[in-house]
Amino acid sequence: MMTASIRLAGTLSDGAEVYRSYYLVADFGASGSGKASIIPMSIGAPMPDDEHLMVKTGGEEAALKAAAEAIKALPGNHGLDVTAVINPE
């Protein structure tokens, strides 16, 4: 199992300071296909239409990278600084 924490911070276009946090989990091995789960840790954080993201190749690492890219691309997260921590304690 591989986990990651994605944190986004910055200033929105209306001048408001924002901090958002997500937790990502993938549990299907280092290679192959599977699903990553996206768990919002901040109230009101934008979410993709589906809280699960499938990858066909690349394993858990590819799934976590794809989930992080999907989160960064969401409306409301554009332009925010992103910090990712793999297997946070």
Q: Is pLDDT at 89 greater than 80 in this prediction?
A: no
pLDDT per residue over 20-34, tens digit each?
999 999 888 778 888
pLDDT per residue over 27-82, tens digit each?
887 788 888 999 999 998 999 998 998 899 988 888 888 888 999 999 889 889 99
Q: How many domains does the structure of the chain reveal?
A: 1
What residue numbers bound the domain in which 24 lies?
A: 2-86
pTM of the predicted structure, to 2 decimals: 0.87
Tokens 């990858």 map to which residue?
A: 55
